[in-house]
Amino acid sequence: MLIREERLKDYERTYLVVKKAFENLEHADGNEHNLVNALRKCDAFIPELSLVAEVDGQIVGHIMFTKAKVENNTVLVLAPLSVLPEYQKRGIGTALIKEGHGIAGELGYEYSIVLGSEKYYPRIGYLPAEKFGISPSFEVPSENFMAYRLKDDAPKICGTLKYAKEFGIE
């Protein structure tokens, strides 16, 4: 498996990977593939943190981290993470997250926030965001709104997460 930065020529394939990865999920809105396209065009987009996973030269997974705010602090939002259904449960998603975390830390970011499965993300080290003083701007169980400290010495930050407007979350 190869994990690398997504390129312009990958966008069409990535669109299909994201669409297929989310089409039958219970907690998906079915619009994640369009969200990826919208995020690529906004100020929150970080090209170095839009990664693809290739197996035998074919893109089978994608992850995107974009900028968000908690008060005056810039943090990252991990969304979406996509792996083709036939490639799931092989460690591809975990590998994408870990590679993204490494790059994000090198770029100077201190926190990654995710709204996701309380069974999946804690295995990688995500904890309820409230432990870091970070709260959502909407009602969600705390076990599904999580944060990961990208730097061991990152100070606790307190405030409400403000997503990029493309997420449609106020």
What range does the domain containing 120 cover? 2-165
Please tell me the predicted confidence (pLDDT) of residue 153.
93
Q: Is residue 17 part of a domain?
A: yes
Q: Is residue 30 part of a domain?
A: yes
Residue 37 has pLDDT above 90, yes or no: yes
- With a CB cutoff of 8 Å and minimum separation 6, the contacts of 111 are 70, 73, 75, 76, 132, 134, 147, 148, 149, 150, 154, 157
Please tell me the predicted confidence (pLDDT) of residue 26.
66
Q: Is residue 146 part of a domain?
A: yes
Tell me how far apart the alpha carbons of residues 150 and 103 are, in angstroms, rounded to a whole number.
10
User: Per residue in 4-23, pLDDT tens?
Assistant: 999 999 999 999 999 999 98
Please tell me the predicted confidence (pLDDT) of residue 141.
96
Residue 42 has pLDDT above 90, yes or no: yes
Residue 24 has pLDDT above 90, yes or no: no
Please tell me the predicted confidence (pLDDT) of residue 28.
62
Q: Is residue 93 part of a domain?
A: yes
Tell which residue, 23, 120, 113, has the closest CA to residue 66.
113
Structure-block tokens of residue 40: 């690529």
Q: Is residue 170 part of a domain?
A: no
Q: Do 108 and 150 contact (CB within 8 A), yes or no?
A: no
Please tell me the predicted confidence (pLDDT) of residue 170.
73
Residue 29 has pLDDT above 90, yes or no: no
Q: Is residue 21 part of a domain?
A: yes
If you average pLDDT over residues 27-50, what whole number do you get?
91
Please tell me the predicted confidence (pLDDT) of residue 27.
64
Tell me how many domains the chain contains: 1
Q: Work out the pLDDT band at 64, boundaries 50, 70, 90.
A: very high
Residue found under tokens 């990826």: 36
CATH code, domain with 125: 3.40.630.30
Tell me how far apart the alpha carbons of residues 135 and 124 are, in angstroms, rounded to a whole number.
20
